[in-house]
Chains A and B, each alone.
Chain A
Amino acid sequence: MMRLELVKRSEKSRLMSVLSPVVAVALTVVFAGIVFAAQGHNPLTGIWYFFLEPITSLWGVEQLITKATPLVIIALGLSVCYLSNNWNIGAEGQLTIGAIVGSIPPILFPDFVNPVVLPLMLLMAMAGGALYALIPAKLKTVFGTNEILTSLMLVYCSNLFLDWMVRGPWRSPQGYNFPITIDFHEWAVLNAVDVGGIYLNLSAPIALLLVIVLAVVMRSTLKGFEIRVLGQSPRAGSFAGFSTRRMTAFAFALSGALAGLAGMMVVMSEIGKLQPVISPGYGFTAIIVAFLGRLNPIGILIAGLVIASSYLGGEAIQTSLQMSSKLATVIQGVLLFFVLAADTLILYKVRLVTGREGESAHA
């Protein structure tokens, strides 16, 4: 009988820290190839259409950046949560509530039309997302309630709340009874500008800026140190005078604010109003992005682009190979498994042992 045996490394393997996501992506490509072959397609053709073809055109690159932007912004916030051992999985709900709160100015005050509206909306969205995220955070610090379950339950509530808003109080009188709000006015949307053939709006540079800020904070500030220490050893952190409770509130508020910001920018750039569904699950996919990026800001930037390409790949195989675009979500899930499994290589050497060898080792 053969089995896998783990041998602990004396220290973390730096090489594997960099290589493990690459290994994971490579294994995912192989997996995708097998799926294409199983469906009767040439695996290489499938891989080409899924992973590469979408980014061969300028339009594809534009789509890639558009899809990656919210994922990266949300994943940055989640990485701070996960590093500090706070399991916020309700980013999707914080995104939704943020977008609702941020939409108050153009919907309730449609005559308030001036350049202040846009930053005001973004700030309100961040505040809304942060406050919504503070619910599970406070329940955790005050009552010791499991934040994984509460933050997720609040996702369902926020989606139902949005559904009620756009069908009830905020439904547009001119919307032919469709569940939509009035269109946002010109100062409440993000317009794209031509950047070398690619049309981009403000959200992509904001995402890039956030990546840089968080990278600096994590690498060279006390706050970054505090986040990591409290995640790895709350006891050691408390000796240093850091408070686990404050960190929980901070991490949740930050990730909620970023999710709200991302949600608002998606609404402002792609939809221009509120409707029952405003996100194709960005808040959940961002969890994969955070882990694939090894909870590191630069890694998250790359991971965001990789995962965004799988959305485009899903659409590409639908049009080119008549396969289901749902394959993209499966591939994302598989990728996350491979990432988590490959991380084992950082701390352990994996050996394949046969039964006989194993027995003699015990003797």
Chain B
Amino acid sequence: MLEAIILTIITAATPLLLAATGELVVEKSGVLNLGVEGMMVMGAVAGFAVTISTGSPLLGIVGGAVAGMLVSLIFAFVTLTLVANQVASGLALTLFGLGLSGLMGESFVGQPGLKLQSLDVPGLTDLPFVGKILFGQDILVYLSFAAVFGVSWFLNRTRAGLILRAVGDNHTSAHALGYSVVGVRYLAVAFGGAMAGLGGAYLSVAYTPLWVENMTAGRGWIALALVVFASWIPWRAAVGAYLFGAVTVLQFHAQAFGVGFPSQFLAMLPYLATVVVLVAISGNRRATLFNTPSSLGKSFVPDR
């Protein structure tokens, strides 16, 4: 029973963690991309489309990442090259992504998809309790953890990460030091787009191998909230994603056991939990402000 619950928590948390890790890097570079939901849903539809047309879920998740990255580049062009308002452009990206994915996915509605294979190591996967949890996951689950460690290492231990943080904290100084503020931000936004695309592809290729319109159901927004919750520290995003996964799963189990409570109220739990967590975290100003990239959401035009 406990094993089953942990397994479902992992599947609920992985798309959130993938998208949140990507957005964390974007925001560390000083860009607020509110289009995570749009990039995720594009990743979901592209992931599904590539999977059923090639028969390969692996190519599907690559397709999801590419689709997420491509739409993120529209956002990058509008906000970085043309210095449009980032908040409004992020909303535009979400509305655009939801519309385009609905259009692209129309013919896939009701079609069965293919499920991403899970790892199967003879001997290890069969171990009692931990076997399936540690050695029986699909590649995206391992990738989500690799991303957390990778991003953590990149931001704190590499020169490129230092430059990225400098760009996010003070773009004028970074520019004066000769770094390409806009270039760094383009790369960060593209990375965030690819990660959100992977998170979306996880939904349509691994979580439920189906395409349903708007299937991200606000997960992109929850991923954005997770970045705030994590106060821009990768491992905290992982903790947050798993807490949210637990809330989601709790809700499903409560529904399955027929707790005498309307299902709609249980379905509200992840959204209400997001609000509660955001309030709790914003109460703690010092921890938040210390890590907030100072240039977050501000446009940069180099003066030549």
B272 in contact with A157 (CB, 8 Å): yes
Q: Mark A320-363, 1 if CB is under 8 A from B, else 0.
A: 00001011111111101100110110001010000000000110
Check A337/B301 contact, CB under 8 A, given A139-B279, A145-B278, A348-B83. Answer: no
Segment from A108-116, A147-155, A221-229 that makes contact with B: A147-155
Please report the C-alpha to C-alpha distance between residue A10 and residue B278 in the assembled complex, in whole angstroms: 41
Please report the C-alpha to C-alpha distance between residue A333 and residue B102 in the assembled complex, in whole angstroms: 13
**Residue A199 interfacial (CB < 8 Å):** no
Please report the C-alpha to C-alpha distance between residue A145 and residue B282 in the assembled complex, in whole angstroms: 5
Instruction: For B82, list chain A residues within 8 Å (CB).
Output: 4, 6, 340-341, 344, 350
CB-based nearest B residue for A147 = B278
**Residue A29 interfacial (CB < 8 Å):** no
Shortest distance between the CB of B183 and any CB in chain A (Å): 11
A156 in contact with B279 (CB, 8 Å): no
**Residue A277 interfacial (CB < 8 Å):** no
A150 in contact with B275 (CB, 8 Å): yes
Which of the listed residues B74, B88, B89, B262 has the most CB atoms from chain A within 10 Å of its own CB?
B88
Instruction: For B98, list chain A residues within 8 Å (CB).
Output: 329, 333
Q: Mark A234-251, 1 if CB is under 8 A from B, else 0.
A: 000000000000000000
**Residue A197 interfacial (CB < 8 Å):** no
A153 in contact with B271 (CB, 8 Å): yes
Instruction: For A153, list chain B residues within 8 Å (CB).
Output: 218, 221, 225, 271-272, 274-275
Interface residues of B in 31-87 (CB under 8 A from A): 34, 74, 77-78, 81-85, 87
Shortest distance between the CB of A281 and any CB in chain B (Å): 9
**Residue B96 interfacial (CB < 8 Å):** yes
B218 in contact with A324 (CB, 8 Å): no
Interface residues of A in 3-59 (CB under 8 A from B): 4-6, 8
Which of the listed residues B34, B102, B106, B278 has the most CB atoms from chain A within 10 Å of its own CB?
B278
Interface residues of B in 175-211 (CB under 8 A from A): none
**Residue B290 interfacial (CB < 8 Å):** no
**Residue B100 interfacial (CB < 8 Å):** yes
B95 in contact with A332 (CB, 8 Å): yes
Instruction: For B217, list chain A residues within 8 Å (CB).
Output: 156
Chain B interface residue count, Cβ-Cβ cutoff 8 angstroms:
46
A336 in contact with B275 (CB, 8 Å): no
Please report the C-alpha to C-alpha distance between residue A288 and residue B106 in the assembled complex, in whole angstroms: 24
Which of the listed residues B74, B89, B228, B282 has the most CB atoms from chain A within 10 Å of its own CB?
B282
**Residue B215 interfacial (CB < 8 Å):** no
Check A157/B271 contact, CB under 8 A, given A145-B282, A146-B282, A361-B304. Answer: yes
Please report the C-alpha to C-alpha distance between residue A8 and residue B285 in the assembled complex, in whole angstroms: 36
Choose from A146, A157, A333, A344 the contact partner of B99 (Cβ within 8 Å): A333
Choose from A4, A8, A150, A167 the contact partner of B81 (Cβ within 8 Å): A4
Instruction: For B285, list chain A residues within 8 Å (CB).
Output: 144
**Residue B254 interfacial (CB < 8 Å):** no
Interface residues of B in 212-229 (CB under 8 A from A): 217-218, 221, 224-225, 228
Please report the C-alpha to C-alpha distance between residue A298 and residue B268 in the assembled complex, in whole angstroms: 38
A333 in contact with B275 (CB, 8 Å): no
Please report the C-alpha to C-alpha distance between residue A288 and residue B262 in the assembled complex, in whole angstroms: 35
A337 in contact with B275 (CB, 8 Å): no
A348 in contact with B87 (CB, 8 Å): no
**Residue B103 interfacial (CB < 8 Å):** yes
Please report the C-alpha to C-alpha distance between residue A160 and residue B88 in the assembled complex, in whole angstroms: 26
Check A329/B102 contact, CB under 8 A, given A153-B274, A340-B92, A344-B84. Answer: yes
Instruction: For B267, list chain A residues within 8 Å (CB).
Output: 160
Shortest distance between the CB of B228 and any CB in chain A (Å): 6
CB-based nearest A residue for B102 = A326
Interface residue tally of chain A, by bracket? 35 or more
CB-based nearest A residue for B99 = A329
**Residue A252 interfacial (CB < 8 Å):** no
A144 in contact with B78 (CB, 8 Å): no
CB-based nearest B residue for A340 = B84
**Residue A282 interfacial (CB < 8 Å):** no
Please report the C-alpha to C-alpha distance between residue A164 and residue B285 in the assembled complex, in whole angstroms: 37
A337 in contact with B304 (CB, 8 Å): no
Please report the C-alpha to C-alpha distance between residue A172 and residue B259 in the assembled complex, in whole angstroms: 25
Shortest distance between the CB of A23 and any CB in chain B (Å): 12
Interface residues of B in 77-131 (CB under 8 A from A): 77-78, 81-85, 87-89, 91-93, 95-100, 102-103, 106
Instruction: For A164, list chain B residues within 8 Å (CB).
Output: 262, 264-265
Shortest distance between the CB of B271 and any CB in chain A (Å): 4
A336 in contact with B92 (CB, 8 Å): yes
Check A326/B264 contact, CB under 8 A, given A145-B282, A284-B95, A334-B96. Answer: no
CB-based nearest B residue for A328 = B99
10 nearest A-B residue pairs (beta carbon): A333-B96, A329-B99, A164-B264, A340-B84, A336-B92, A330-B99, A326-B103, A160-B264, A153-B271, A344-B82
Which B positions have Cβ atoms within 8 angstroms of A? 34, 74, 77-78, 81-85, 87-89, 91-93, 95-100, 102-103, 106, 217-218, 221, 224-225, 228, 262, 264-265, 267-268, 271-272, 274-275, 278-279, 282-283, 285, 301, 304
24 contacting pairs across A/B (C-beta < 8 A): A6-B301, A139-B279, A145-B279, A145-B282, A149-B225, A150-B275, A150-B279, A156-B268, A156-B271, A160-B267, A160-B268, A163-B264, A164-B265, A326-B102, A327-B103, A329-B95, A330-B96, A333-B92, A333-B95, A333-B99, A336-B95, A337-B96, A344-B82, A362-B304
**New A-B pairs, 17, CB < 8 Å, besides A148-B87, A167-B264, A291-B88:** A6-B301, A82-B88, A139-B275, A149-B275, A149-B278, A150-B275, A150-B279, A152-B221, A153-B218, A153-B225, A153-B271, A156-B218, A160-B268, A164-B264, A168-B262, A324-B103, A329-B102
